[in-house]
Amino acid sequence: MAIPSSESSRQDNTLAVIRALRSQGPMARVDLGASNDISSATVTAITTELLGQALVSELPPGMHRDNGRGRPKTLIQLNPDAVFVVCVKLSINEVQIVVGDFVGQVRHSELHSLATLALTQEELCAFLVDKIEALSSQLRDTYSRFAGICLAVQGIVSPHNGTIIWSPALRFRNAPISSRLAAVFGCPVLLENDANCIARSLASQPEYAAYPHMVVIMLGYGIGMSVLIDGQPFIGANGSAAELGHSKYEPGGALCSCGRRGCIEAYVGDYALYREARTMLSLPAGDSAHPSEEQMQALTQLAMRGDPVARQIFGKAGRALGYGIANVMALFNPDLVLITGAGVRGYPAMRSEVEQAIDDALVEELIGLTRVATCPWDRDMTCLGGIAMTLHATDPATLSAPSSLLRLQD
Amino acid sequence: MAIPSSESSRQDNTLAVIRALRSQGPMARVDLGASNDISSATVTAITTELLGQALVSELPPGMHRDNGRGRPKTLIQLNPDAVFVVCVKLSINEVQIVVGDFVGQVRHSELHSLATLALTQEELCAFLVDKIEALSSQLRDTYSRFAGICLAVQGIVSPHNGTIIWSPALRFRNAPISSRLAAVFGCPVLLENDANCIARSLASQPEYAAYPHMVVIMLGYGIGMSVLIDGQPFIGANGSAAELGHSKYEPGGALCSCGRRGCIEAYVGDYALYREARTMLSLPAGDSAHPSEEQMQALTQLAMRGDPVARQIFGKAGRALGYGIANVMALFNPDLVLITGAGVRGYPAMRSEVEQAIDDALVEELIGLTRVATCPWDRDMTCLGGIAMTLHATDPATLSAPSSLLRLQD
DNA sequence: GACTTTATTTTAGCGCCTAAAGTAAAACGA
DNA sequence: TCGTTTTACTTTAGGCGCTAAAATAAAGTC
């Protein structure tokens, strides 16, 4: 697990330069120095090194407006093709594999249908090795180095030993997948919860830069959450923190998919909404325990158009969600609670109840300056976040070593 | 606020040496090197510097058993009298002022009765300045340097600008007390929530060293909590995180002291227990909205002896507390939940209900390896923790400067 | 008393940083 | 047009703080 610690000062500074270039785009040496508190002499040293490794290049002059006197700035940019990383998103019956370049852009994406719940650990491993190997032999021409893999999975994931402790997509438990991939490909493998990937992707957007303590709630079949503390996902002792979906709304309340009662998810999850609705409303046919996007759209439309029964269902969900958010506010005191996920489509129909519930639950002091906002849903955010996290964790020192070049032969 | 950041490497290492000596007692240079990953050459350099500043001294040989061959170790110890810090604990109608030495031991303690709720900000400040000034002129002979003040207060405290945002002990709000004291005494002033002080004090005990993610719940008139993430108190965006007492048990439930309904505190706080009990049991007279220690003892005794009504009251409280702990587990996934506070006296009467409620609320995966334990209550832990935090934050560089010497004359 | 073992100090040298001096490349202005 | 000014980048000289290794110190062992 080559996550760069603060070993040498030079390492830190090199990393800081690369990250600044990634998040802020091409920059001149002076500005790199200023924004990272490094003398420009040091920046020169670092950039010469990076130019030598072809990790960055100088932007040809004249490309950018440089109004003002004095010697014009020479902008440095990351070389997109210097490095590639792979992010694998593992969901129920679906595996998405995405390739990202050194600047964090998605360069390739493929979707595989796969009966994940029927797989053994070996079969999953073999599948992933196969697909990633195929990709990398293809990409070998374009990119110089293969810097890492991110496995974004639903469920509980242990950060320490890189095992999938539990996932709704898999039959088996405590799978040391990440070390097995690391052994095959000889590169670091990040194992991440999918919600944390999404949150990291959102947090890197400039509009959320002012919120270091951000909570992202993902509405969907279940309820996911990621808590960013100073921009870092909070995972707890064993990776099972931030389980908002199974925190409680009412003791002994509605039955949850986990088998317990009164979980927030049992009121707000897609299946919970549909469960309430199907008995009272005429809705598209289908597996009502696992409503499809179309089914949910239909239900949402009803509520949006003012159907009283549908409105009441969403209102009740909103109340449960609001109480859940109130607990999150009381316990985490975030700057911002951001609501997203496929289920945001129905949020307008719950909004007033959510807000009312928060006000009912908490005194002003505990709501404090916390804002609640929504954000449109985009399926690709998971992999974007996974790519960002993998690149963020990439140690420039290992990139220079030839050992990180592709070596799938062994 | 001179909290030492990781400026120079030497600073970091010096701090590490001092902290090791404080937490592990006298040590030889080799061992200081080994336990902090520093070469023993560097340790020599650091200790010579510290010896010069009289912050440490060499233990005379022969004091310690040194069975084995080779040159005997020379143990280095902190000089207790090199530094003193003051911790002020501000509670309703009571101010405790404690002096701690360089090793973290309490060397003096005084208790003042004071109608805190009647004070203006100026009066409180004047009171504190007066008492601390008196103390320090007294202590000037014994100690060399006055390194800092810790203000441990109940309520919400902002870490950023050092203001008391809200405290049940005070009438006024948003008080920039800490900067005012800092200006008068010319030393750093830490403003801390009292629960965090207690938690830090507990966490420093060796028996809890294996639990980096620890949650400490304090039962009493209200319900306090501190969440330690990697040993550091988690305070959230504005210092109001970890408010377990006002997280919800039942929407629309029992009336809480905060004015809202269904808060955990409204079931588990002393006042809530007594409120239930007084109508049904014969208990000592007194202000039943603010039960005294004697009143609570009497109630607890009844429950312990098996009185069915009292048992039921504690059982209901245990259920509420259990659900609260379940939410904490789902959201923070701690290694350990430690229950303490004056109210632990009644915990045995709730224990089985707490455990049952946690099992009812969460599936195994979310309970994970988290343990729940209790810990005897000691009033002095707050100040001990405050002293530890102040010392921990003390920058050795500022200690060497003469500016940190007492200078109350100006 | 020579030898072994362990602790501490001294020495030599390395890596990385910075300030300051030097160089480069523009715009400005007479 | 050409010096002047301004800003960017590079080179140089020197310092800080670390480490490995050598030197020294202070025991026990045989």
pLDDT by residue for chain A (410 residues), tens only, comes to 323 334 568 999 999 999 999 999 999 999 999 999 999 999 999 999 999 999 999 998 877 777 788 899 999 999 999 999 999 999 999 999 999 999 999 999 999 999 999 999 999 999 999 999 999 888 888 878 999 999 999 999 987 888 999 999 999 999 999 999 999 999 999 999 999 999 999 999 999 999 999 999 999 999 999 999 999 999 999 999 999 999 999 999 999 999 999 999 999 999 999 999 988 877 777 777 899 999 999 999 999 999 999 999 999 999 999 999 999 999 999 999 999 999 999 999 999 999 999 999 999 999 999 999 999 999 999 999 999 999 999 988 877 644 333 333 33
Compare all CA atoms of chain B with the CA of A259 and give the residue at the minimum distance: B363
Query: Quick check: B334 contacting A, CB < 8 Å?
Result: yes
How far apart CA A310 and CA B241 sit, in angstroms, is 35
If you average pLDDT over every residue of chain B, what do you get? 92
On chain B, the residues whose CB falls within 8 A of the CB of A10 are none
Shared domain for B212 and B307, answered yes or no, is: yes
Given a contact cutoff of 8 angstroms between Cβ atoms, the answer to whether A158 and A198 are in contact is: no
Determine, yes or no, domain membership for B4: no
| CB of B73 lies under 7 Å from some atom of strand C | yes
Query: Residue A239: CB partners within 8 Å, gap ≥ 6?
Result: A156, A157, A158, A159, A165, A193, B333
- The first and second tokens of residue B4, run together, are 């030492």
Q: Which of B26, B50, B78 corresponds to the end of one domain?
A: B78
What are the backbone dihedrals phi and psi of residue B374, each rounded to the nearest 5 degrees, phi first?
A: -115, 170
Shared domain for A265 and A367, answered yes or no, is: yes
Determine, yes or no, domain membership for B385: no
Determine, yes or no, domain membership for A388: no
Query: Residue B55: CB partners within 8 Å, gap ≥ 6?
Result: B18, B78, B79, B82, B83, B102, B396, B399
Determine, yes or no, domain membership for A52: yes
Q: How far is B167 from chain A (nearest CA, A)?
A: 11
Question: Stated in angstroms, how far is B241 CA from D8 C1'?
Answer: 47
Question: Stated in angstroms, how far is A13 CA from C28 C1'?
Answer: 37
Shared domain for B151 and B281, answered yes or no, is: no
Determine, yes or no, domain membership for A290: yes
How far apart CA A302 and CA B219 sit, in angstroms, is 47
Query: Residue A15: CB partners within 8 Å, gap ≥ 6?
Result: A4, A395, A396
What are the backbone dihedrals phi and psi of residue B6, each rounded to the nearest 5 degrees, phi first?
A: -85, 70
Shared domain for A68 and A124, answered yes or no, is: no
Identify which of B325, B344, B342 has the alpha carbon closest to the alpha carbon of residue B333: B325
Identify which of B118, B155, B140 has the alpha carbon closest to the alpha carbon of residue B185: B140
Identify which of A189, A231, A237, A239 has the alpha carbon closest to the alpha carbon of residue A209: A231
Query: Residue A96: CB partners within 8 Å, gap ≥ 6?
Result: A88, A89, A109, A110, A111, A112, A382, A383
| CB of A39 lies under 7 Å from some atom of strand C | yes
Across B88-96, average pLDDT: 95
How far apart CA B121 and CA A293 sit, in angstroms, is 58
Q: How far is B373 from chain A (nearest CA, A)?
A: 17
Given a contact cutoff of 8 angstroms between Cβ atoms, the answer to whether A385 and A153 are in contact is: no
Sheet bearing B56-58, strands edge to edge: B27-28, B75-78, B56-58
What's residue B400's pLDDT? 64
Identify which of A116, A121, A186 has the alpha carbon closest to the alpha carbon of residue A149: A186
Note whether B243 contacts A213, CB cutoff 8 Å: no
For residue A97, give the H/E element and its range: strand A94-101
Given a contact cutoff of 8 angstroms between Cβ atoms, the answer to whether A344 and A304 are in contact is: no
Shared domain for A263 and A162, answered yes or no, is: no
The DSSP bridge partners found for residue B223 are B219
Question: Percent of chain B beyond pLDDT 70?
Answer: 95
Say which residue the tokens 């996974």 belong to.
A386
How far apart CA B264 and CA A323 sit, in angstroms, is 13
Determine, yes or no, domain membership for B199: no
Query: Residue B255: CB partners within 8 Å, gap ≥ 6?
Result: B261, B266
Q: Which of A78, A107, A128 corresponds to the end of one domain?
A: A78
Give the CA-trace dihedral at B194, B197, B202, B204, to 10 degrees: 180
How far apart CA A191 and CA A162 sit, in angstroms, is 6
SS3 call for B48: helix
What's residue A4's pLDDT? 36
Shared domain for A41 and A142, answered yes or no, is: no
Shared domain for A97 and A220, answered yes or no, is: no
How far apart CA B374 and CA B379 sit, in angstroms, is 15
CB-CB: which of B236, B244, B362 is closest to A213? B236
Shared domain for A225 and A359, answered yes or no, is: yes
- The first and second tokens of residue A124, run together, are 């999953």
CB-CB: which of A165, A236, A369 is closest to B213? A236
What's residue A117's pLDDT? 95
**Cβ count near A11 (within 10 Å):** 15
Given a contact cutoff of 8 angstroms between Cβ atoms, the answer to whether A333 and B238 are in contact is: yes
Determine, yes or no, domain membership for A41: yes
What's residue B403's pLDDT? 39
Say which residue the tokens 């021409």 belong to.
A141
How far apart CA B209 and CA B196 sit, in angstroms, is 16
Measured at the CA of B303, the angle between CA B297 and CA B305, to 5 degrees, comes to 100
Question: Percent of chain B beyond pLDDT 90?
Answer: 84
CA dihedral for A126, A132, A137, A140, sign (positive or negative):
negative
Query: Quick check: A364 contacting B, CB < 8 Å?
Result: no
Domain that holds residue B163: 82-188+394-404
Shared domain for B22 and B126, answered yes or no, is: no
Provide the 8-state DSSP code for B80.
Answer: G
Confidence of residue B287 (pLDDT cuts 50, 70, 90): confident
- The first and second tokens of residue B14, run together, are 């010096």
Determine, yes or no, domain membership for B339: yes
* CATH code for the domain in which residue A97 is found: 3.30.420.40
Given a contact cutoff of 8 angstroms between Cβ atoms, the answer to whether B223 and A320 are in contact is: no
* CATH code for the domain in which residue B36 is found: 1.10.10.10
Given a contact cutoff of 8 angstroms between Cβ atoms, the answer to whether B324 and B269 are in contact is: no
Query: Residue A27: CB partners within 8 Å, gap ≥ 6?
Result: A20, A21, A35, A75, A76
Answer yes or no: is pLDDT of B41 > 80: yes
Measured at the CA of B99, the angle between CA B396 and CA B148, to 5 degrees, comes to 35
Given a contact cutoff of 8 angstroms between Cβ atoms, the answer to whether B90 and B153 are in contact is: yes
**Cβ count near B69 (within 10 Å):** 6
How far apart CA A55 and CA B126 sit, in angstroms, is 61
Shared domain for A215 and A330, answered yes or no, is: yes
Compare all CA atoms of chain A with the CA of B234 and give the residue at the minimum distance: A332
Q: Which bases of chain D come closer than 7 Å to a protein CB?
A: 5-13, 16-21, 25-29
How far apart CA B33 and CA B16 sit, in angstroms, is 10
| CB of A44 lies under 7 Å from some atom of strand D | yes
Given a contact cutoff of 8 angstroms between Cβ atoms, the answer to whether B178 and B189 are in contact is: yes
Shared domain for A73 and A94, answered yes or no, is: no
Q: Which of A63, A78, A93 corresponds to the end of one domain?
A: A78
Given a contact cutoff of 8 angstroms between Cβ atoms, the answer to whether B204 and B23 are in contact is: yes
Given a contact cutoff of 8 angstroms between Cβ atoms, the answer to whether B84 and B150 are in contact is: no
Query: Residue A62: CB partners within 8 Å, gap ≥ 6?
Result: none
Answer yes or no: is pLDDT of B124 > 70: yes
A&B contacts, CB < 8 Å: 144
Shared domain for A164 and A215, answered yes or no, is: no
Could you give the number of structural domains in chain B?
3
pLDDT tens digits for B235-275?
999 999 999 999 999 999 999 999 999 999 999 999 999 99
Q: Which bases of chain C come closer than 7 Å to a protein CB?
A: 4-12, 15-20, 24-28
Answer yes or no: is pLDDT of B285 > 60: yes
What's residue A365's pLDDT? 92
For residue A355, give the H/E element and its range: helix A351-361
